[in-house]
Amino acid sequence: MIKSERALIIKKILDDTYPRTPVPLDHKDTYTLLIAVLLSAQCTDERVNQITPALFKLAPNPKKMSQMSVEKIYEIIKPCGLGPQKSKAILKLSKMLIKKYKGKVPNNFSDLEKLPGVGHKTASVVMSQGFGVPAFAVDTHIHRLAQRWGLTNGKSVKKTEEDLKKIFPKESWNKLHLQIIFWGREYCMARACHGIECKICKSCYPKRKRPFVHKRP
């Protein structure tokens, strides 16, 4: 089975399983989405959703956030992990949004990735889910699944993003990003499926008998 055939099977299964793809991070606008995505680094979406209500009650916009202290932000977001770095980044990016962008989250990759604490993956999520611009946010989880499903050679997260964009239609990227995340959490977990148990793995590699060995990014 060639890669394009596997891609069709994967998309069909994902579309059937997840016809709707709500953003798992609770937010009200592009600013709160940006902060929530930043907080989600090395933290579960569930934990982020438990923490952001208290944070956004005090500071629902860049102006309010820029008036808070790093210590106060850290006090709230500490359970997310990487608190010192994240609290500083949140304060700095909020001040930058006020100073350079009139309090608005920029709607392009170049300006987003200049914000403190915002890398390409975070920018991709904001562009796709916040602004509806086609993007394919690839984290280590999607990288792992793309390897298991034979969609990439596994050299790097950047290469995986390039490979996925070549395989799937541009108009499907935003939805597919979330579908893959949902599938990975429910059926193709890191320490459960091992590339041999879930419906997608079985469909793509019916003859695979041993656990798939991943290449780390």
Q: Which domain holds residue 158?
A: 3-21+136-204
The answer to pTM > 0.85 is yes
Question: CA-CA-CA-CA torsion for 85, 47, 41, 114, nearest 10 degrees?
Answer: -70
pLDDT for position 214: 82
Residues 169-200 have pLDDT tens digits of 999 999 999 999 999 999 999 889 999 999 99
Domain-located, residue 105 = yes
Domain-located, residue 214 = no
Kindly state whether residues 199 and 109 are assigned to the same domain. no
Query: Do 33 and 199 touch, CB atoms closer than 8 A?
Result: no
Residues 85-132 have pLDDT tens digits of 999 999 999 999 999 999 999 999 999 999 999 999 999 999 999 999
Kindly state whether residues 35 and 127 are assigned to the same domain. yes
Kindly state whether residues 35 and 104 are assigned to the same domain. yes
User: Does 4 score more than 80 pLDDT?
Assistant: yes
